[in-house]
Copies of this chain bind each other. A is one copy, B any other.
Amino acid sequence: MYRTHTCGELRIENKGQKVTLAGWVQKARKLGGMTFIDLRDRYGITQLVVEADAPAELVELATSLGREFVIQVKGEVVERQSKNPKMPTGDIEIRVGSINILNKAATPPFTIEDESDGGEDLRMKYRYLDLRRGPLKRALELRHRVAHEVRNYLDAQGFMEIETPYLIKSTPEGARDFVVPSRMNPGQFYALPQSPQTFKQLLMVAGYDRYFQIVRCFRDEDLRADRQPEFTQIDCEMSFVEQEDVLNTFEGMMRALFKNVLGVEVPNPLPRMSWYDAMDNYGSDKPDIRFGMTIHELTDIAKGKGFGVLDGAAYIGGICVPGAAEYTRKQIDELTDWVKRPQVGAKGLIYIRVGADGSLKSSIDKFYGADDLARIAAAAEAKPGELILIMSGENKRKVQTMLGVLRLELGGRLGYRNPKEFAPLWIVDFPLLEWDDETQRFYAMHHPFTAPKPEHEALFMSDRKEDLEKVCANAYDFVLNGNELGGGSIRIHNADMQKRMFEVLGIGPDEAEYKFGFIINAFRFGAPPHGGLAFGFDRVCALMGGQDSIRDYIAFPKNNQGRDVMIDSPSKIDDIQLEELQIALDLKAE
């Protein structure tokens, strides 16, 4: 071993000990003949001092050290003259007796500090240097800790981690697969799994009634910001359970994570909200409930005053923004422009200012008298000093979604979205089916194996569209601070129910056989009632770390073009590889 201690562990109690440390030179500086060196490793920073009266060779060696040199030092722990209370090792320093340069270092292309001077692209190219920085180190430490706690919790609950294959079969449903040509089976391809969904259901058929896996998944999508072509899931499935059992088990897991990793207590039990309430009150199926500013429906109360925009709307809703009654016209115009951007897509914004004295002033004074405004303000539950912002439109859910986006934006601006505050909840009672006007058919909101709620099974047999639209799924999402962290469902295990589902979705027997034949066949041999869920592990870690972006919680992420710029991948391969695989490039003209 090159060291007796790490750079994070020596304290005043170690005073007088002879120690050996090894690490990287964070910085070195001369001060009145003495040389001070900050030595860094994964565990912390310890200050080294080479005294002015040390042997000349030692002083010279200390002076020659560059940033990020790897050195080993022997010396004695001494009490510091000027202590640094910000560092755990700040009471001591090492009086250096000898220095051994283990490796020199070229000057890094950016500073290795919590706040680096390097741009995103440069830091991605030299990811192995960026990973030396504190924020990334803490992110990966958190990730390790979270994974370990997940495993401990689930193991204690009798779950088995079972590895499922990565070289599987391309399926005709869902997003695009990454595929892998098979050399031994020319003309044929494996696919990389988008999730182990099929395999975990097979494991239930096989009787492994509590399965989990922290597993990589792959999706060849056009990458939006903060999506990765490979990502990690906490994937789980249970047999002989109802929805209630799944929710209890996994909110227990999340509670354990927050408590054991962050020391944070989250409510027990967690709040549950129906999808309908989430949409009506928050304009989102993943509501951020850290703050209020909920949506109030104003449809009936705001219509019929001769203002065409509202009179013609199918839905009118509003939110009340605390302290915003005094917004300038410019501020309100800016908000109006903000919601008119294509990302939100609103046509405009109506406002009512509620003065400190309760007086009301609006952008629609022309059509609405004081009493009308008062009734709207009452329906919106507006308080003095608030600004009521109102939107309307043809499609209730669309208007609610726009109000929800505005709510989140204003919540952020007003400082209501503290990343260190955690407000998890379950969203339940999703509609089972979504009607598509264009194709005039129903689609499964989750997937075609999601079971209806037991109390809605009769409704599910109805032939009426209005009935089918009311059927709720035995499905659930785990939501935290406006993000969906996980979701799942109780699966259909009964052949007749599955047949009915395909019927409702307009999937004929041939299509069902082609798309799902394998799993349906497996289910013939005694499938137990089962259900499960999956959490997006990268995002669980990022949110627990108080970050929006998952990128720093992945050791070696890819950029938005799906490239690893550090290793420069993907890349061309040798002709001989193509030949062995019996494939050829077939590049389209640019």
Contact = CB atoms under 8 A, between A and B. Distances in A.
A102 B151 contact: no
A231 to B, nearest CB: 10
A189 B573 contact: yes
B220 A167 contact: no
B206 A3 contact: no
Contact of A69 (B69, B148, B526): B526
A80 interface: no
Given A22-B240, A24-B528, A105-B525, 5 more contacts: A103-B494, A105-B526, A165-B564, A166-B166, A183-B220
Contacts of A581: 179
Contact of A577 (B106, B126, B137, B179): B179
A184 interface: yes
Contacts of A183: 176, 220
A184 B52 CA distance: 59
Interface in A556-570: 556, 558, 561-564, 567-570
Nearest to A588: B582
Given A555-B203, A567-B168, A584-B583, A68 B245 contact: no
25 contacts: A23-B207, A40-B207, A42-B209, A102-B528, A105-B525, A106-B524, A126-B525, A137-B207, A140-B160, A140-B208, A141-B160, A144-B155, A147-B161, A148-B151, A163-B555, A167-B178, A169-B568, A170-B573, A179-B581, A186-B585, A186-B588, A190-B570, A191-B573, A578-B586, A582-B588
Interface stretch (A11-19, A128-136, A261-269, A361-369): A128-136
Count class of interface residues, chain A: 35 or more
A185 B563 contact: yes
A524 B105 contact: yes
A216 interface: yes
A584 B586 CA distance: 6
A487 interface: no
Q: Which secondary structure dominates chain A's binding surface?
A: loop
Interface string A58-77: 00000000001110100000
A187 B203 CA distance: 38
Interface string A533-567: 00000000000000000000011101001111001
Most buried by B among A22, A148, A183, A563: A183
A216 B2 contact: no
A199 interface: yes
A103 B527 contact: yes
Contacts of A161: 144, 147-148
A104 B192 CA distance: 33
A216 to B, nearest CB: 6
Contacts of A170: 571, 573-574, 577
A179 B573 CA distance: 9
A409 interface: no
A508 interface: no
